[in-house]
Structure 1
Amino acid sequence: MRVDAFDFDLPRDRIADRPASPRDSARCLRVTCDGLADFIMRDLPDMLQPGDVMVFNDTRVIPARLAGRRGEAKVEVTLHMRLDDDTWRAFAKGAKKLKVGQTIDFADGFSALVEERDGGDVRLKFNRGGQALMDALKDHGHIPLPPYMGREDDESDRTDYQTVYSAPEKEGAVAAPTAGLHFTPELLERLDKRGVTRVFVTLHVGAGTFLPVTADDTADHKMHSEIGEITPEAAEAIEAARARGGRVVAVGTTALRLLESAADAETGAVKPFSGPTDIFITPGWRFRAVDKLMTNFHLPKSTLFMLVSAFSGLNRMKAAYAHAIQSGYRFYSYGDGSLLDRCDADLSVSE
C-alpha cells in the first residue's frame, strides 16, 4: 500500500510538548464504527462495560540517550534494545567514522565498546551491567523525548514520561507507552469499581518507534524488533475475561502489537509470549485478540497511524484526525487520546 495514503496536514501548534494536568483531564475522542464523540479521559469507565479487560503495558522508561566522546569527536547514542545485562543495540549520531573496537566515553569510568556497526545502528558493550548500568544511565543519561517535541528533556520528564503503573523491575523502554500516561490512581480505582479487569503485559518500546517510514510502499518498510512478555497468568486472565463475554481493550499500540503477536492464528486465543516481535500492522490485517484500542494521536505516514487505520478504517481515521485537528485536540506523546472500536468491515486496502 502506498505510504502517502497515510499522509495528512498537521499544524505545528497541535503538537503537545507538556502533558495535561491532571493526567486524566486530557481529552478523549471516541471513534465507533458509526461516528465520533468528544469526551475526556475521566469518562473512560462509562465507555466500558463490567467484565471488559484492559491490557496495560507496564514497561518503565530509562534515560536511554547518552552524550559521549570518541577521542575528540562527539557521539550521541540512543539505546533501543537490550541484548544482555551489559550489551545494547543503539542508534548513534556522529557515527560516520565510528569503528568496531573503538570505545565511547560517557563519563569518568563509564564507557562502552563498539562491538558491531551497521550504518548508524551499533552494538555497544558497556563496562558495567545490570543495576550498575541502570544507575549510570540515571546519573548520565537523558529521557529520549520524541524529536518532534523540539526541546530537551528536563527533570519533570522523568516523572511525566512514565505511566503511574510502570514497574521498577520492568525498566527497559526507550519510549513511553503513551496511551497509559492518561491514567491516574483515581481513574484506575473507578475502572475497578466499574468491574473492568486490569491485566499487565510488558513490551519494551524501542527508539525505532520514532523512525520515519522512508519507503514508498508499506511492503518495503522494515520494523525494528522490540522485546515483549505475556506471562501465563496474564494470558489466562485475558482468556478468562473473553470466555465471560468481556471485550479486550488494549491500552496503547504497544499492548495491541504484543497481544496480536501472541494470539493464535485460528482461534485468537492469547498465549504466553516471551521474546522479540517486529509485527507490522497495516490495512488488511485480520485482528484476532483486540476489540478496542485506547491510543494517542500519531504522526502522518507513521507505522502507528497505519495501525489505527487498519483497526478502524483509513477513511474513518482520517475523518477522526481532521475532527481532532479542527477541535483543538493535542497530538503525540504528551497529547490527548482516543478510544477506537475495531471495525472489521473496513479491513480492505481500498479504505
Structure 2
Amino acid sequence: MIIDGSDNGDRLRRLPVRPRPRAGESTDSYVRRLARANHLKPSYLRGYLVGPPDYGRGKRPRGDRLAAVTGRQQDALERALTDLVRQKRTQPEKPRRRFTRSADKPALFAAIRRDAQAEKLPVSQLAKRHHVSHATVRQALNSPTPPPRKQRAPILAPAKERVGPTIDTILDEYAALHTNQLPTVREVWEKLLDEHDATVSYGTVHRYMSSRRPTPDTLTRHLEHTSGSYLAIRQQTFHTNLFKHYRTLLTTVRREPARHGLDGTYATATAFVLGLDAGTSWNMLTGFQEWLVVRLDRGHDLTWPVLIRHLTPGGWVHPLTPEADTKSVITLYQSLGEFFDDREQPDGLPTVFKNYQRWLSTQAWYQFETAETDQIN
C-alpha cells in the first residue's frame, strides 16, 4: 500500500504494479492505468499524488510523488508525460482590449462629436485621444445614439461538449436516489474519473454544473422565496432543466427496455415511470393526470395509467392484448413527451391547472356540486 503520512516524495512507498508510461501520454491517462493495475480508484491515487493539503481538487499531480510511487526518475516521467510540468509561455501576452460599458457610451459619443466639431480632428486622432477604435469614432460621428451591443453566442468548450452529457447522466442518477438534493462538484468530478475514465479538470466540472443546475443553497432560497405558492414550489423543486434529462432517459428506456430491466410491456413501463416520479417526491408528473383529463375530455376520477389506456388508439381494452399493450406503451411515451413540452413553458404548470379548472367549469356534475355546496354554506 502507498499510504504514508509524509509529504516527502522519497519516503513514499512504491506501488506493487508499475506500468511503463507511454511517450506523449497525458498524466491523467497514466494515473488511471496505474490505479487500475493496482486496484485503486483513479480519483484516490490522483489525490494522493497531489498531496496535502487539498489532495487533488483541481490540482496537478506532483512529479516527485509520482516518481516515488513508480520507482522511476522524475525527469524521465516529465519527458514522457506531456502535461506533468506546466509549460511556460513562449510568447508575450497580448495587451488586453479596453471595453466601454453600454451605460458610458452616450457620454463617449457626445465627447467624440464635440471634439470633432470644435477642433476639426481627424478620425485617427479622435480614436487615439478617446482610446477607441476607428470604427467607434465613425459610429459616433454618424449618429449620437450608440448602436446596441451585439449578442454573442455562448462559447461551449470542447471539454464541456465531451463530458456534458455524462455529467447530466450522473446528476439524473443522483437525483433519482437523493430526493431534492444535488451532488457536490467533487463527487461528480471523482465519478467522472473513476467510472467514466474522463480527462477533465475540476474547474470545467464546476463551471458546467454552475451553468446547468442550481446549488442546494440556491434551491433552498428559491423554495423559501416561493413558499406562498404551491405551484411555484413544485416548479422550483423540480427544476425545469431536468425535463430534458428525464426525456433523454425515457427515450433510452423506450428504445432499449431490456438494458433497464424491463420487458417492454405497459405494466413495467408504467412501474418505471412511477419510480422516476417517486424519486422526485412526485414532482415530475405533477399535473399529468389533469393534463390527460383535459385531452381525453373525461376521467377526472381515474389515475393516469388508466387514462393512458383510454387514450390509446382503439380505446380501452381489458385484458390487454399484445397489440393493445404495444399501442399503450407508445401512447405513454408520446403523452409524456407532449406533457413535458407544455410544462417546460414559462407558465407551463399553472396553465395546465387553469385548463383543467376551465374544463371542470364546463361539466354539469361539477356545476351541480358547486351549487349544492353554496346552498349549504
Higher RCO (CA-CA < 8 Å; seq separation 6+): 1
Q: Greater strand percent: which structure?
A: 1
Larger radius of gyration: 2
Q: Greater helix percent: which structure?
A: 2
Please, what TM-score do these two structures have when normalized by structure 1? 0.22
Please, what TM-score do these two structures have when normalized by structure 2? 0.21
